[in-house]
């Protein structure tokens, strides 16, 4: 974690994840192992970021995000109150 980061409630940063300066992370977010969030990115609420992803753009709420070469939304969260509904 770097400077000037705003983190919501119930956020999990897996081992090896890096969140750089000026980022905002919403409630109920899981940032996968080895993921990198570049400076000044906003991540909405109820988001899962896949392991090894590199986020280079803002992420909307209620999504599953996975990116190796290019950011892409995999799908929207069916039940925004539980980000872990994605694993069913």
In CATH, what number is assigned to the domain containing residue 60?
2.160.10.10
Tell me, yes or no, whether 50 lies in a domain: yes
Q: Which of 3, 12, 58, 79 is labelled catalytic?
A: 3
Whether 3 is a known active-site residue: answer: yes
Q: What is the mean pLDDT of residues 50-61?
A: 90
> Token match 């940063």: residue?
13
Say how far residue 17 (Cα) sits from the centre of its chain: 10
Tell me, yes or no, whether 88 lies in a domain: no
CA distances from 46 to 9, 27, 37 (A): 11, 6, 16
What is the spatial distance between Cα 35 and Cα 31, in angstroms, rounded to a whole number? Answer: 7
For the chain, the domain total comes to: 1
User: Regarding predicted confidence, which is higher, 39 or 77?
Assistant: 39
Query: Is it the case that residue 50 has pLDDT exceeding 50?
Result: yes
pTM of the full structure = 0.78
Tell me, yes or no, whether 47 lies in a domain: yes
């Amino acid at each position: 974690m770097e400077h000037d980061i705003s983190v919501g409630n119930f956020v999990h940063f897996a081992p090896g994840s890096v969140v750089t300066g000026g980022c905002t992370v919403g409630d109920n977010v899981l940032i996968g192992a080895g993921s990198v969030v570049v400076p000044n990115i906003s991540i909405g609420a109820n988001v899962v970021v896949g392991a090894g992803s590199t986020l280079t753009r803002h992420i909307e709420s209620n999504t599953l995000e996975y990116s190796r070469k290019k950011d892409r939304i995999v799908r929207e969260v069916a039940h925004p109150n539980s980000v872990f509904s994605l694993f069913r």
